[in-house]
Structure 1
Amino acid sequence: MWVDGQHGELGYQDILGLVRTSDLIRRPVFVRVASHDYGKIGRVLDMGATAVIVPCVDTVEQARQLVFAAKFPPLGGRSYGSRRSIDLYGRRFVEKADVETLLVVQIETPLAITNADEIAALPGGGRVVPGSG
């Protein structure tokens, strides 16, 4: 399931409902966020999204900051406070989440295309896909 939090009119409660629905039908859910905001990325992942998709990534430094937001230490700086996370995975949540959740960055500009190989090679960087920018 693809949930568009960038161009859609969905709020966090809507996204949470869709994530929980995807759990019930045992399907992955990819949530595109509207910005590079650390807190919003973590919030979507704490809801249980399988992947977070981040638009308009132009540079390796931007991608590095996104890895920091999406991955737990030592690879990143993600934190958690979600009871749902513990309910789903128990104490192994951090280890399991870093392996099973995906960061997808969208490249949408000539600068991003120039930097695509370096962005793709970043440890913890997940996938690089074209966007419509």
Structure 2
Amino acid sequence: MPNVLAELHGRLGRGETILNGWLHLPGGVSAEVMGHAGYDALTIDLQHGLIGEGGLVPTLQAMAATPAAPFVRVPGLHAPDLMRVLDAGAVGVICPMIDTPGQAAALVQACRYPPQGTRSFGPTRARLVHGDTYAARADAHTVVFAMIETAVALANLDAILDTPGLSGVYVGPGDLSLSLTGHATLDFRGGDVEEAVARIARATRQRGLIPGIFTQGGDLARAAMALGYRFVTAGSDFALLAGAARGVLGDLRAGTPTPSTSLY
């Protein structure tokens, strides 16, 4: 994975859009398939995915044979978890349910070395895969996303975005729509949810930060990019497999293929 930290940082700095794939399935093979398919980055989901902590490093190793940059969504705001995934070689972290500027500051602190933060030194696998100069480059190049997915976070958006050291925010449309409307959906087009999603992108870009979002791919990903999102998750291994299987079976049974409605 030579120079993947610098390459990703450079692309984001130039304002390019990063297409991210989402990994729920254990075993590492789907990471290889998704990485070789051409995703710019892949995110291991340790919050809702089926990849346990013991599967973290094998999945990162599978990813290392592909051009995709490795990200991890941690289970929650827990400093040891954040440090562990970075030490294992992730170039970026996505942390769920960040509702306040204090939580955003704690997230950044855990991901940055002193004096900027409180990350403990021990980049075991990170130094192996990113080189001996990793520690000197980590603070500048590691991507730290706070997830905006509740009405409380939306109310605190400006203060969260003003957190020093934060790379950007990442929208979870399922939880955000659930919090705003009482109904979880990934389709953010229309109503209060669309207005919120557009506002998040606009406020994030105004500060020179990176707006990210989860989509199922295709039309939703294009809609997100049109709003200015630059780190766009376009499908998960679980949902893509399920959708492809339904499509083949629907065609063979002479019915109309059923589109995926999975939140993942």
1:17 matched residue in structure 2: 58
1:89 correspondence with 2:131: yes
Q: Give identity over the alignment, percent.
A: 35
Deviations 1:28-62 (A, max 9, x none): 12210111000000000111112110000000000
Alpha-carbon distance in 1 for matches of 2:61, 2:162: 32
1:56 matched residue in structure 2: 97
2:46 matched residue in structure 1: 5
Deviates more, 1:47-56 or 1:75-84: 75-84
What residue ranges of structure 1 are gaps of 5+ in the alignment? none
Alpha-carbon distance in 2 for matches of 1:57, 1:3: 19
1:124 correspondence with 2:170: no
CA contact (8 A) 2:86 2:126 kept: no
CA contact (8 A) 1:71 1:98 kept: yes
User: How many pairs align?
Assistant: 132
1:33 correspondence with 2:53: no
Choose between structure 1 and 2 for higher RCO, CA contacts under 8 A separated by at least 6 residues.
1
2:223 matched residue in structure 1: none
Deviates more, 1:62-71 or 1:11-20: 11-20
Rg larger for = 2
Alpha-carbon distance in 1 for matches of 2:62, 2:91: 13
1:68 matched residue in structure 2: 109
2:121 to 74, 77, 80: 80
Alpha-carbon distance in 2 for matches of 1:6, 1:18: 15
1:44 matched residue in structure 2: 85
Deviations 1:92-123 (A, max 9, x none): 22221112211111111111001112211211
2:143 matched residue in structure 1: 102
Deviations 1:11-30 (A, max 9, x none): 22311112122222131122
Secondary structure, counterpart of 2:131 in structure 1: helix
What residue ranges of structure 2 are gaps of 5+ in the alignment? 1-41, 176-264
1:39 partner letter: P
Deviates more, 1:30-39 or 1:4-13: 4-13
* TM-score normalised by length of structure 1: 0.91
2:131 partner letter: Y
Alpha-carbon distance in 2 for matches of 1:71, 1:128: 17
Alpha-carbon distance in 2 for matches of 1:82, 1:50: 12
1:114 correspondence with 2:155: yes
CA contact (8 A) 1:104 1:127 kept: yes
RMSD: 1.4
